[in-house]
Amino acid sequence: MAAETTETVEEKSVNRFGVDAASRAWRRIRRSRSNAERDRRAVTGVLATLFGGIFWGFSGTCASFLFENYTVDTTWLMCARQIVSGLIFLIVILSRRTDRGNLVRLLTTKRDVAVLVVFSALGVLLNQYGYLMAVRLTNAGTATVLQCLQLVMIMVYSCLRSRRAPRRREFAGVILALAGTYLLATGGNPSNLAIPLEGLTIGLVAAVGAACMSIIPARILPKYGASVVTGSGMLLSGIVTTCLFHPWANMPQLDGMGWGAFFVLAAVGSCLAYSLYMQGVKDIGSMRASLIGTVEPVSAAVTSAVVLGTVFTMPDIAGFACIIVMVFLTA
Q: What confidence tens digit (pLDDT) does each residue in 91-147 have?
A: 989 998 889 999 999 999 999 999 999 999 999 888 888 877 776 676 655 666 677
Asked if 215 and 286 count as a contact pair (C-beta separation under 8 A), the reply is: yes
Asked if 231 and 90 count as a contact pair (C-beta separation under 8 A), the reply is: yes
What SS3 state is found at 327?
A: helix
Q: What is the pLDDT of residue 206?
A: 85
Q: How far apart are CA 224 and CA 53, in angstroms?
A: 22
DSSP code of residue 70: S
What SS3 state is found at 252?
A: coil
Mean pLDDT of the chain: 79
> Is pLDDT above 60 for 7?
no
Provide, rounded to the nearest whole percent, the portion of the chain with pLDDT above 90: 15
Q: How far apart are CA 275 and CA 268, in angstroms?
A: 10
Q: How many CB atoms lie within 10 A of CB 37?
A: 10
Buried b (16+ CB within 10 A) or exposed e, 272-281: bbbbbbbbbb
Asked if 130 and 206 count as a contact pair (C-beta separation under 8 A), the reply is: yes
Q: How far apart are CA 30 and CA 45, in angstroms?
A: 22
Asked if 293 and 52 count as a contact pair (C-beta separation under 8 A), the reply is: yes
Q: What confidence tens digit (pLDDT) does each residue in 16-45 have?
A: 555 566 666 666 666 666 666 777 777 888
